[in-house]
Structure 1
Amino acid sequence: MRLRYFLFLLFISITTVYFVGCSDDGLDPTGITTKDDDDDEPVNDPDFTIPTYADDYSAIASWSNRNEWNLANVHDPSVAYYNGYYYMYATDASYGNEAAGHGHFQGKRSTDLVNWEWIGGPFYEAPSWVADSLNAIRSRMDLDAIAENDIQYGFWAPVVRRVNVGGQEVLRMYYSIVIENYIKTGNPISASFDGSWTERAFIGMCESTDPAGAVWEDKGFVTTSSSDRGLDYSRASTNDWSGYFYYNAIDPTYIVAPGGKHYLIHGSWHSGFALLQVDAVTGKPLNTLGNPWADNASELSARYGLRIGTRTAGSRWQGSEAPEIIYKDGYYYLFMAYDGLDVPYNTRVVRSTNIEGPYYDITGRNFTNGNGDCYPIVTHPYKFNLSNGWVGIAHCCIFQDENTNDWFYMSQGRLPANVGGNAYSNAIMMGHVRRIVWCPASASEPDNLWPIALPERYAAVPDYGKITKDSLVGTWEHINLKYSYAQQKTATSLSLKADGTMTGALTGNWSYDETKKQLTLGNVIVCVEREVDWEANPRRVTLVYAGTEKNLNATYWGKLKK
């Protein structure tokens, strides 16, 4: 998380934002009929329009244009449905710091997941309990208090859920506040290195029955970063990444299990993810946490949470963060972000039949025990032709459409550096909403389904009926999302021929199950859907696919060219 914080500061020193508008054009490559040349609206849904807002929103980055932002300035989003709206809250992050000083965890809301309006967040100042809790811990460590005005705060990664408390539905938010002062002296980390690690993070909680009015009641402390190294917070140098804290108290996710128990999962880099049961009514830990240090990991975990996963066993700096958990059809699916947030960010998923684990990937690797990198890849830096593509696509939230029960993936996407001659374009953070498809692990396991995000962003394309085999014949842009650290995976041409053969990026035979909307490319089954081609000019509806195979260690993305 410390590396994450420094990278973030490096990439948010500019100016931006964006434009919202809608129109629709060119809906012919998928068997969709349209009106005459003077009106390109689809025949069966005259209200459907394709978003035209720019991916580079720098022209409207100023705070005064916030009502035009739509999905601009989104970082680490979390979404929950409440009183007819999807409410989204995110990390305090904005291109050029345009939102700085205007409240923390600012939100947006939407009725259709396409058009979003800005709303205020829960508070403008750090809650007083943070300084009180920090200095109470420092006192028990025989350290001097840090004057409240000298505490350096960072506001990170909230999670929001709709819960029933005493018969009333409320929005419950867990949020992260990071302290960027040294432990030993209490000096800010901008001061000279003092031979210690930086201070801890805290997770707090607040609730609202009026999120549209930005009315929230803060409930205070939930948990804090905790160490298995007793009071030895010394650090050899700023190049030492061995980590004082075992659990890092940021990036919370929250789930109500089918049996009614409530759990908070959190963690970023350091040693992995902690599972902490909380009270359904208060939202606070069931058990007394005690001092946030212990002499060993087992003693610490008994109080501060069970470790349910780590990218690398034994590593204190293991490059995974941002857990997000859902329950579906007997499995808990645990999504996570890999690597640094600016470019290499990519998303993986593992699952378990038990909330406490063990969690396994599609190949059977045990993530709970840190048995190697996990697959499938849900998102990864990529680039279709005729575009700059996207990087930094991770730290997701996963949620369902209240009407269709379709699953969605949402995260930020960043533009690469130097787009349009802008050296700081990598600090442009656009919110990406994508549908999830549930793909077979292999041809021999048709019911062993795993979640993959579609390659194109969601635009609420209407249902035009069955996708036929004939409509798949043509030239596709195919991307093999094989893991490459900080590298965009680029598209190559794939031709699906009417005789069932394919050439280009893949060779061999292809087939299609129209009922399941499953396209088989060699031995890999991908799921086919209609989405908008965001790289086309003008944007248009096309066909896309996403899928994997358990031994592929990669994901296939594709879209049909016009």
Structure 2
Amino acid sequence: MKLTQIKYKALAAAFVLASVVTASCSKDAPNEDTVATDDVVTDDTPPAFDINSITDTYYDMAPVANIYQWGYRNVHDPSIIKNGNTYYCYSTDVAFGAEVQPGIQVRTSTDLIQWNFLGWVFPELPAMGKAFIQSKGGAPFNALWAPYVTKVGSEYRLYYSLSSPTPRLSVIGLATATTPLGPWTEKGLVVTSLADASIQTNAIDPTVIVDQSGKHWMYYGSAWDGIYMLQLNPSTGLAMSSGDKGIRVAQRGSTGNSINGNIEGPEIVYNAQFNKYYLFIAYDWLQTKYNVRVGRSDSAEGPFLDYAGNDINNDLDDSPMILAPYKFNGHSGWQGVSHCSVFKDDASQYYMAHQGRPGENSFFMDLHVRPVYWTEDGWPIVSPERYAGVAQTAIASADLVGNYEQIILGYQVVPGYSAEQTDPNFQTSVSLKLDAGGTINGDANNTWSYTAPWLTLTWGGTWVDKLHVERGRDWENKIESTILLSGLNNAGTAIWGKKVQ
């Protein structure tokens, strides 16, 4: 077995990726002389899935010998699509302390909780992407990153990222299939980037949308010159104009002469309820401060505006930040919570999938899936807890009375990348009490009111938090159902809450 050690996204990350040989197995053939008897009982029914088997870390499960039991484990940069009753998840070739073959990992689920590892899209690096990098004097990493999957007509289109140790020598390629599980056929390279003096972003991290007029657009990019938008040919899924790189639609702010951190991993969705396009973007270093920002537009071509009405293509750090490293009581916290996939089920309930890295050890990568809700004025918010299929029974005002842990998703600017952003900047919980008389924390200056599903917290007549109320699992305390709060205040800061009785 040939081992190849690489760095993730051409920066100093601690993943080891390599080839692995997988072997099939089967039950032994029964002995023809064996005679069945009535008192021999066999039961091949698999044990019922236990949600408590989902753990933050998985030292014992990490070896490649367990790869088909990985499930939610070792998921980075997910892209999720639903077909029939099944969700399909495609993700980066990476694992904790294990050597994995390149090819884009594939998982399935019918409930967004229990995931099954099925294999890979490709048996090896795609020939077209590999050949391009080699033709420019580079050697591709032995891994594919950040796939994106979509369906156009009866065709599934899967976009992959292939990069190299040579800075910005990268490609985004396209493969197609008639089913979510392939077989997949390479169709060409959509966009490339070179290690030269040109102004361009790195050609990785694609996401695609068909706008309301029928035009196809790809958004992509990591670091360098921000997030780009490129028009695609609807018939082929490749660039409308060969060699086109697109134009920039989003960038980061600076502190002095230093960029405030990375910008990458876009995701684009259209919400018909508000007739707007939403561009979700990953900020900062993927192992620690990784967080999710969002801008919205009336057009897929932008401009995308932040909560304050600023064009996110300006030299600013934009809000709202709707997901960031956080820590509830009694838990090591979750960091690296970005590069998201946003999708919806048949009932038009939106979800956000992303990696989560436990504070205990930031090299583990767990798949998190969270419900997404929308404020009354059309901004996405995400649940403070992962989806667990909890029944959404009615919640009355009396049910809200009690003690909570509250998290305010603040942010500290730390310009730089892996070397500078070693601290995840966890946002930690504080105590919050909703009193029976409508006050907060026993203070008559702070009040609450409730019109389902929205809870309004008013702080001294200045700050107003508008929070969506739901039932959900308390993952930190393994409580099957509690009350969860998520929303924005009047400054666009995300506010979370979890009832702890």
Provide the residue aligned with 2:395 in structure 1: 467
1:410-449 mapped onto 2 (5 Å cutoff) = 410-416=353-359, 419=360, 425-439=361-375, 447-449=376-378
Pairing partner for 2:234 from 259, 272, 280: 280
- Note the C-alpha offset of 1:399: 0.2
Aligned Cα RMSD in Å? Answer: 2.5
Provide the residue aligned with 2:270 in structure 1: 327
Provide the residue aligned with 2:185 in structure 1: 217
1:302-381 mapped onto 2 (5 Å cutoff) = 303-312=244-253, 319-328=262-271, 329-370=274-315, 372-381=316-325
- Note the C-alpha offset of 1:376: 1.1
Cα 1:546/1:267, change in 2 over 3 Å:
same
The answer (yes or no) to whether the contact 1:272–1:311 under 8 Å persists in 2 is yes
d(CA) in 1 for partners of 2:142, 2:385: 36
- Note the C-alpha offset of 1:484: 2.9
Pairing partner for 1:534 from 469, 475, 481: 475
The answer (yes or no) to whether the contact 1:324–1:334 under 8 Å persists in 2 is yes
The answer (yes or no) to whether the contact 1:226–1:247 under 8 Å persists in 2 is no
1:168-247 mapped onto 2 (5 Å cutoff) = 169-181=154-166, 198=167, 200-212=169-181, 214-225=182-193, 232=197, 246-247=200-201
d(CA) in 2 for partners of 1:520, 1:512: 9
Q: Deviation string for 1:20-63 (max 9, x for gaps)?
A: xxxxxxxxxxxxxxxxxxxxxxxxxxx99754421212221122
Which is further off, 538-547 or 73-82?
A: 538-547
Cα 1:506/1:221, change in 2 over 3 Å:
farther
Provide the residue aligned with 2:145 in structure 1: 156
Aligned residues: 448
1:74-153 mapped onto 2 (5 Å cutoff) = 74-98=75-99, 100-101=100-101, 103-136=102-135, 138=136, 145=137, 151-153=140-142
1:59 is the counterpart of 2:60: yes
1:544 is the counterpart of 2:484: yes
Q: Per chain length, whose mean CA-contact separation is higher, i.e. which structure has more relative contact order (CA < 8 Å, sep 6+)?
A: 1
Cα 1:220/1:470, change in 2 over 3 Å:
same
- Note the C-alpha offset of 1:66: 2.4
- Note the C-alpha offset of 1:199: 5.0
Corresponding residue SS for 1:426: coil
Corresponding residue SS for 1:482: coil
Which is further off, 263-272 or 478-487?
A: 478-487
The answer (yes or no) to whether the contact 1:492–1:505 under 8 Å persists in 2 is no
The answer (yes or no) to whether the contact 1:271–1:318 under 8 Å persists in 2 is no
Structure 1 gap ranges (5+): 14-46, 139-144, 182-197, 233-243, 290-302, 420-424, 440-446
Cα 1:52/1:467, change in 2 over 3 Å:
farther
Q: Deviation string for 1:143-168 (max 9, x for gaps)?
A: xx55xxx544442100111221xxxx
d(CA) in 2 for partners of 1:316, 1:135: 31
Q: Deviation string for 1:313-338 (max 9, x for gaps)?
A: 89888521111010112111000111
Structure 2 gap ranges (5+): 1-6, 18-47, 414-423
Higher helix proportion: 1
Cα 1:152/1:500, change in 2 over 3 Å:
closer
Provide the residue aligned with 1:23 in structure 2: none
TM-score normalised by length of structure 2: 0.84
TM-score normalised by length of structure 1: 0.75
d(CA) in 1 for partners of 2:77, 2:384: 19
- Note the C-alpha offset of 1:203: 0.3
The answer (yes or no) to whether the contact 2:334–2:357 under 8 Å persists in 1 is yes
The answer (yes or no) to whether the contact 1:518–1:526 under 8 Å persists in 2 is yes
- Note the C-alpha offset of 1:11: 5.2
The answer (yes or no) to whether the contact 1:478–1:491 under 8 Å persists in 2 is yes
Provide the residue aligned with 2:29 in structure 1: none
Sequence identity (%): 35
The answer (yes or no) to whether the contact 1:4–1:341 under 8 Å persists in 2 is no
d(CA) in 2 for partners of 1:178, 1:517: 45
